Every structure is written in C-alpha cells, then in structure tokens.
Amino acid sequence: MIVSVTANTTLDLTVFMPGWEWNKTIRATDYIYSMGGKPTDASWILGEFGIPSLALGFAAGANGQKVESLLRAKGVNPEFIQVDGETRVCMNVVIQDGKTGQTTITTNMMDVRPEHIEALRNRYQQALDDATVVVLGGTLPKGMTPDFYTDFIRLARERAIPVIFDAAEPNLSAGLKSEPNFIKPNQDELSGFVGKRVETVEDAYEAGRVILERYNTCPIISLGGIGGLAILPDRAYRIPPLEIEVVSATGAGDAILAGLAASIFRKEPIEEGIRLGFAAAAAVCLMPGTADCRKEDVERLYSQVELISYP
C-alpha cells in the first residue's frame, strides 16, 4: 500500500485572468478547484494512474471535506485527523497575457494541537504495517515544527520502508536528518538548501551530489521549463523538458512524486518511476487545475521522456 502524509491539506483554486490592475475589479475568464498539498497531489495523480493509496494527515472544515471528496473521486482512501480552523485555500493566479506567467497566494488556516499530532502518529504507525512506500512533504500548519518530518521519516526508515520527501526549508533539512530515499526539490527549494541560487543543470548536479553524499538521499531535481536531473548513487540522468503547450504548471513537481511511488510500489526499476513521473509532470502542465492530468496524456508522453546519462 502507498501511504501519503499531508500535514497542511490544501484546496487549490486556479483563477485565469487577462491581466492585473490594482484598485479595480478584475473579471476572471475561468476558474477551477483542484487538489493542493504535495502528498495529496501525489495520491490524486496515483488515483488517475489507477493506483489506490491511503492519504493521512490533518484536515478541517468544509474545505477539508472538499479535499476528501476530490480524493475519493479518484479512488484514494482519505483518513485525515480532524483539527481546528480550516483546510487552507491556495490561489494560483494565471495571467493570460503570454508574458506574466503565474503567481500563487497561500494562506495558513489550520490549527494543530499536540493531541492531534499524537493521533496522527498512532494512525501512521499502524499504516506502516502495510506500507510499501511513504510520500511525505509540504508546509506545516500552525502548531507544528519541522522536527515532525525528522520523526515521521525516521519511523518509516527504521522499518526499511522507502520514503519520498518533498519540502522547502526549514522542513527539508529537518527531514534529511532521517535520510529519506528520495527528495524532489525544485530550483527554489534546492537554492534555499544550499544558500545560493541554483540556475543551471550543472549547479543542480553539484548541489544534488552534496545531498547524496551527506544524507544517502537521491535527489530527483525538477527545473521547471529546463527539465530535470535525477541523481542516483552510481549514476545520474538529465531529463530534457518535453515540448508542450503549458496551461498551468502548478503541481507538475508532485506528479514526479507519484511516478516514483508507483515504480517502488510495482517493484520496478526507479528509471521507470522517473520516466512516468516526468511524463505525468508534462501531462499536469497541459491541464488548468493543480496536479490535474489525464491518464491518456501520461501514456502518450511517456515514450517521449528521455533519460540521458549525466555528466
């Protein structure tokens, strides 16, 4: 069984507009609600692949219920601990002028108490009895500290269960202490970790090798429009971007988490997971909703993904 853990569950609202003007009413041309939060995104995408998963974490209020129903619709089994406040809404604003791109506005609406964390920890330990791979990551709501990731990753690694982890600092460093098998940083997350700007594939390789040597963790790095770089213990691959018409790239990175989890679950070589992950990332870029993709697009794009030995 694949287990995802999302502390900060999120409902994403993507709004498309022709341009931006301050102190004016802007009429959106379109909007779409979809899944947000990295591990729940991965569960959602796995559902589209036809692979069920157990989604653990915290949720609250009507937004939390909407997240649960979106997950159920894809065959995911959500079992969130109910907390105070509200599952947050993230708004992705896409300006359709062909040059501005997209901006994300996040909020933090949930309140987690120590007894909630204890309840999740108990449910998680029970789930680990049947887990083949765990996907963890994302920001943390109020009431939680980065050592949550040190603890939860350690619990899985102690039982030799593979862990895929995706977070920005300071959570990234906290999680790395427990040596997850894979991390999936993007350019900003990797830059935050090394303390200098990662621009090129060469910069990413240098930073990724440091992580591999220090933590025994394989970085599968996504570099937006310039593709990706997978660093494994004895080999590395550059993954060129696919030629696609990008509608919204939000959640594309989370598709890589889903691809990796799928290949570990099916006991396939990790190269299969990288290929599936980058195909699904491109498929997410074709859709307006966060982490939304179509199985037929993933299957069509899969054969186009190249893994080129690097350096």
Among 39, 219, 228, 273, the residue binding ligand ATP under the rule CB under 6 A is: 228
Among 253, 259, 273, 277, the residue binding Mg ion under the rule CB under 5 A is: 253
The separation between CA 138 and the C-alpha centre of its own chain, rounded to angstroms, equals 7
C-alpha to C-alpha distance for 5 and 167, rounded to whole angstroms: 12
Q: Which stretch binds ligand ATP (CB under 6 A): 17-25, 266-274, 280-288, 294-302?
A: 280-288
| Partner whose binding site includes residue 110, from Mg ion, ligand ATP, none (CB under 5 to 8 Å by kind) | none
Q: Which stretch binds ligand ATP (CB under 6 A): 21-29, 47-55, 153-161, 249-257?
A: 249-257
Closest approach, Cβ 38 to ligand ATP, in A, equals 7
Q: Which stretch binds ligand ATP (CB under 6 A): 4-12, 76-84, 141-149, 221-229?
A: 221-229
**Residue 222 interacting with ligand ATP (CB under 6 A):** yes
SS (HEC) of the chain: CEEEEECCCEEEEEEEECCCCCCCCCCCCEEEEEEECHHHHHHHHHHHHCCCEEEEEEECHHHHHHHHHHHHHCCCEEEEEECEECCEEEEEEEECCCCCEEEEECCCCEECCHHHHHHHHHHHHHHHCCCCEEEEECCCCECCCCHHHHHHHHHHHHCCCCEEEECCCCHHHHHHCCCCCEECCCHHHHHHHHCCCCCCHHHHHHHHHHHHHHHCCEEEEECHHHCEEEEECCEEEEECCCCCCCCCCCCHHHHHHHHHHHHHHCCCCHHHHHHHHHHHHHHHHCCCCCCCCCHHHHHHHHCCCCCEECC
In the bound state with ligand ATP, the residue whose beta carbon lies nearer, of 109 and 256, is: 256
**Residue 42 interacting with ligand ATP (CB under 6 A):** no
**Residue 14 interacting with ligand ATP (CB under 6 A):** no
**Residue 251 interacting with Mg ion (CB under 5 A):** no
Closest approach, Cβ 241 to Mg ion, in A, equals 15
**Residue 64 interacting with Mg ion (CB under 5 A):** no
**Residue 37 interacting with Mg ion (CB under 5 A):** no
* Residues 175-214, mask of contacts with Mg ion (x by CB under 5 A): -----------x----------------------------
**Residue 192 interacting with ligand ATP (CB under 6 A):** no
Amino acid symbol at 6: T
Q: Which stretch binds ligand ATP (CB under 6 A): 64-72, 113-121, 168-176, 243-251?
A: 243-251
Nearest by Cα to 304 from 285, 282, 287:
282
| Partner whose binding site includes residue 228, from Mg ion, ligand ATP, none (CB under 5 to 8 Å by kind) | ligand ATP
Residues that bind ligand ATP (CB under 6 A): 186, 222-225, 227-228, 241-242, 244, 246, 249-254, 278, 281-282, 285
